[in-house]
Amino acid sequence: MPSPSHVVVCCTYFCFGITACFVSSSGSGNRPTSCDVETSQLKASFSAQASGPTTTFYAAVFSSGPVNLGCGDAFVVTSGAERIILARDPESTSSAIHYVASWPSTPEATTFTLALARGPEKRSAPASHLYLPATFTVLGASASVRVPSEAIRFRLDPPMAIDAQELTPSTVRLRVEVEGPYLDKQTYVWTPKVLFPPLVQADGNVVLDTKFFRRKGTDASCDAKLRISEVTSGDLDSTFGGPVSGSLDGIASFDVEGSRHAAELPLRIEW
């Protein structure tokens, strides 16, 4: 158990909705800055999220807890000749510090380099990579479904590559989320060569079985939201001490994630 002079800080990371906890010194005055920490002692969480016309970048590093950048350290995103420096999110708190920036989205798949640039006394981490999938469209999505006998169906245009010979950090996966007031939130990630739901077909059709959906309360129906995104797992610079959550799929961590999000869709659920 932590001593009375320490608190347990829990953070949810923007990449994959992962929550992890750290033991940290109590009081915001004791929050560490990057001035005090070597890069090899930092764990990182980065993402590039494209939604509509905008791509937003998020970055955070952690030691015994969230770390505030200091001593001239900065997160820098580049793509070709484009370069942008992330700024601390004004809504960050001492227990959940992250840095953000955004720029206009383009429809094609794009690779971004995210660097932690440091002063001469510390080693920089210049080569984390975020792979943003190309634009896609969701067609013919189910407007209503009866659980557990009916499946959620939709079609992706263009279809996903389902016959990848190997999985790499730039391999595109599919994430499907269903959330409603009387439904335990459901999150599914499809990866080529892995036989987990949803079922993704070569013609772009996707089928998500609802037999694992769990109702909250006794209401016979609810209005839910269907969220569909294509994601990649990215590369983390080896100078860091590692990703926050470690490997999630035996291939790479989703703590360095590129994601392209379709517009949220309404879904009526009945039991």
What pLDDT was estimated at residue 143? 98
Q: List, for residues 52-72, the tens digit of each pLDDT value.
A: 999 999 999 999 889 999 999
**Three-class secondary structure of residue 41 per DSSP:** helix
Whether the domain at 6-132 and the domain at 137-233+255-270 fall into the same CATH topology = yes
C-beta of residue 65 within 8 angstroms of C-beta of residue 20? no
Those residues whose C-beta lies under 8 Å from the C-beta of residue 102, and which sit 6 or more positions away, are 54, 55, 56, 57
21-40 as b/e, with b when 16 or more CB fall inside 10 Å?
A: ebebbeeeeebbebbebebe
What pLDDT was estimated at residue 246? 52
Token pair of 208, please?
A: 């998500």
Closest to 60 (Cα-Cα) out of 44, 40, 49: 44
Report the C-alpha gap between 195 and 199 in whole angstroms.
8
Task: Give me the residue label for tokens 């700024």.
Answer: 87
DSSP state of 93: B
What pLDDT was estimated at residue 164? 77
Report the C-alpha gap between 95 and 27 in whole angstroms.
10
Q: List, for residues 62-118, the tens digit of each pLDDT value.
A: 998 899 999 999 999 999 999 999 999 988 876 789 999 999 999 999 999 999 999
- Which segments in the chain show pLDDT lower than 70? 1-31, 94, 246-254
Instruction: Give the bridge partners for 117, in sequence order.
Output: 74
DSSP state of 194: -
Those residues whose C-beta lies under 8 Å from the C-beta of residue 224, and which sit 6 or more positions away, are 178, 179, 180, 183, 266, 267, 268, 269
The dotted CATH code for 137-233+255-270 is 2.60.40
**Could you tell me the pTM of the whole model?**
0.85
Domain boundaries, the chain: 6-132, 137-233+255-270
What pLDDT was estimated at residue 28? 43
Report the C-alpha gap between 268 and 206 in whole angstroms.
18
**Three-class secondary structure of residue 222 per DSSP:** strand
Residues 261, 251, 113: CA angle, nearest 5 degrees: 55
Q: Does domain 6-132 match CATH 2.60.40? A: yes
Closest to 131 (Cα-Cα) out of 114, 106, 116, 109: 109
Residues 148, 152, 156: CA angle, nearest 5 degrees: 160
Cis amide linkage into residue 198, ω under 30° from 0: yes
What pLDDT was estimated at residue 43? 94
Report the C-alpha gap between 12 and 21 in whole angstroms.
9
Token pair of 92, please?
A: 């960050």
